Amino acid sequence: MIKITKFGGSSTADAGQFRKIKAIIESDPSRKFVVVSAAGKRYKEDNKVTDLLYLVDAHCQYHVDARPLLSDIRSRYVSIAHELGLSYPIADEFDDFAAHVSEFDTEYIVSRGEYFTARLMSEWLGLPFVDAAGTVLFHHDGTVNMEATRERVRAEAMRGDGFVMPGFYGTTPEGDIKLLSRGGGDVTGAIVASCIGADLYENWTDVSGFLTADPRIVDNPRSIRRITFDEMRELSYMGASVLQEEAIFPVRAANIPIRIKNTNHPEVHGTTIRETAEMGEDEPLVTGIAGRKDFMSFHVRKNHMADAIGYMRKVLGVFERYGVSIEHVPTSIDSFGVVVNEADVKDKLFSIMRAIEEETEPDELRVLDDLAMISVVGRNLSSAKGTAGKLFSALGEANINIRLLTQSAQEINITLGVEEEDFEEAIRVIYRTFVDD
Ligand code: ASP
């Protein structure tokens, strides 16, 4: 059994967190490959080292003195090393970096957050340091060169008994440091897991996995024990995000499950994400509920639309031309809705309406705004009878008007639109009806 463990910034924030990581690694001999993020926030108002490094870079660009910031960052690393009794020459190496900082580009400066964290973690865990520079390799177009990276990662893995690698960056074909997108440590962990052919990719963070609903809306929502990749993508898209989205692809392609674990509560099972998940007896029919506000729906009616072949295409073509991404298209015989993000059409609303009027001659065109969309996700929804009915009556009893409803062909989710003012209550009602009944 090989597990890749990736620890996010909240898990590497200070010496106390480093101690927790060591206990986690030592409690399981299959945890030998470790990817780390730069030290993150120690408390709510604290700053992530990555953000401070972006700020250092901005100071350099505007020729403002960055020394106070650099000294803040330095003291975070030095205090971790000091508290843990590490001998790595972090102060000297940091001073050297600080002395030359104005000569470096943004990507190099920001990458030092994970670099220094990994250096200290390597000594602390007694595992060799493997730099992501020269190991995670990019193509010219900025995508990861998986083949070349696989070769390098495997060569490093063969060398010994595990390693610690900084996340979030790699090198271009020219040998320059290049960053992944924000939160990209998750992607590095997934790349390493895929290259090594791990049995499990453990992503350690400060929450115990995915929750069935947003805790700001539902009190103490249940956590999700098992979820499929598709379900997770649905929920993440609607706002319930724990993991960097791009991190899913390398492991999914290699059929490696991901487990989200909490560094502060390692005893909690967490959420396991895999291609298919058997339903446990105690698991609710609905895996999770997520939603977002600020949608808008264009309601288009064309009498005898069923006979007007190509009519919908023409209307949708207008949105395409204006570069607006379409979220949902609920349809009925003579009418349909085009649901979009309000922000995407804000400046072009009247142009789009005029284009639809002129080019497609609808019998009615209306815009519904202040729309919130809620996605009820569950891999077994399609086989359960009466789900939509139950949903309708629960919301009806609560006096919540469903303004539109769609169900994907794959039927792992039912998506409904409600008035924005009903959004929170609708989620609570759905939660009580399907998760906590
Ligand atoms: N440190 C980087 C960030 O804050 C990458 C990561 O944490 O995964 O975005």
CA distance 166 to 114: 5
Place of tokens 């508290």: 83
User: Residue 294, class by beta-carbon neighbours within 10 Å (0-12 exposed, 13-18 middle, 19+ buried)?
Assistant: middle
pLDDT at 237: 82
CA distance 113 to 322: 40
Q: Which domains does the chain have, with CATH numbers?
A: 3-206 (3.40.1160.10), 288-434 (3.30.2130.10)
The residue contributing the CA closest to ligand 1 atom 2 is: 183
Q: Which two tokens stand for residue 409?
A: 């062909």
CA angle at 118 for the pair 113 and 122, rounded to the nearest 5°: 160
Task: Indicate whether residue 362 lines ligand 1 (CB < 6 A).
Answer: no
List CB contacts of 91: < 8 A, sequence separation 6 or more: 74, 78, 81
User: Residue 107, class by beta-carbon neighbours within 10 Å (0-12 exposed, 13-18 middle, 19+ buried)?
Assistant: middle
pLDDT at 242: 76
Task: Indicate whether residue 209 lines ligand 1 (CB < 6 A).
Answer: no
CA distance 255 to 258: 10
168 alpha carbon – ligand 1 mean position (Å) = 6
Pocket test for ligand 1, best of 7, 52, 114, 180 (most atoms within 8 A of CB): 114
Q: Which two tokens stand for residue 157?
A: 């893995």
The one-digit pLDDT tens for each residue of the chain (437 residues) are 999 999 999 999 999 999 999 999 999 999 999 999 999 999 999 999 999 999 999 999 999 999 999 999 999 999 999 999 999 999 999 999 999 999 999 999 999 999 999 999 999 999 999 999 999 999 999 999 999 999 999 999 998 789 999 999 999 999 999 999 999 999 999 999 999 999 999 999 999 888 999 999 999 999 899 999 889 888 888 877 778 778 888 999 899 999 999 999 999 999 999 987 665 656 678 999 999 999 999 999 999 988 888 999 999 999 999 999 999 998 888 999 999 999 999 889 999 999 999 999 999 999 999 999 999 999 888 777 888 888 989 999 999 999 988 876 667 889 999 999 999 999 999 999 998 87
Pocket test for ligand 1, best of 36, 182, 192, 203 (most atoms within 8 A of CB): 182
Q: How many CB atoms lie within 10 A of CB 200?
A: 19
CA distance 94 to 164: 19
- 3-class secondary structure per residue, the chain: CCEEEEECHHHHCCHHHHHHHHHHHHCCCCEEEEEECCCCCCCCCCCCHHHHHHHHHHHHHCCCCCHHHHHHHHHHHHHHHHHHCCCCCHHHHHHHHHHCHHHCCHHHHHHHHHHHHHHHHHHHHCCCECCCCCCCEECCCCCECHHHHHHHHHHHHHHCCCEEEECCEEECCCCCEEECCCCCHHHHHHHHHHHHCCCEEEEEECCCCCECCCCCCCCCCCECCEEEHHHHHHHHHCCCCCCCHHHHHHHHHCCCCEEEEECCCCCCCCEEEECCCCCCCCCCCCCEEEEEEEEEEEEEECCCHHHCCCHHHHHHHHHHHCCCCEEECCECCCEEEEEEEHHHHHHHHHHHHHHHHHHHCCCEEEEEEEEEEEEEECCCHHHCCCHHHHHHHHHHHCCCCEEEEEECCCCCEEEEEEEHHHHHHHHHHHHHHHHCC
CA distance 435 to 210: 14
Pocket test for ligand 1, best of 37, 47, 56 (most atoms within 8 A of CB): 37
Which atom of ligand 1 is nearest to 113's Cα? Answer: 1
66 alpha carbon – ligand 1 mean position (Å) = 21
List CB contacts of 293: < 8 A, sequence separation 6 or more: 371, 372, 420, 423
Task: Indicate whether residue 182 lines ligand 1 (CB < 6 A).
Answer: yes
CA distances, 125 to each of 94, 122, 351 (Å): 21, 5, 60
Task: Indicate whether residue 166 lines ligand 1 (CB < 6 A).
Answer: no
Task: Indicate whether residue 189 lines ligand 1 (CB < 6 A).
Answer: no
Which atom of ligand 1 is nearest to 187's Cα? Answer: 8
CA distance 13 to 7: 10
pLDDT at 356: 97
Closest residue by Cα to residue 181 from 116, 240, 249, 134: 249
The residue contributing the CA closest to ligand 1 atom 5 is: 183
The residue contributing the CA closest to ligand 1 atom 3 is: 183
CA distance 90 to 96: 10
CA distance 131 to 137: 11
pLDDT at 17: 98
- The answer to whether 362 and 356 are in contact (CB under 8 A) is yes
pTM of the model: 0.86
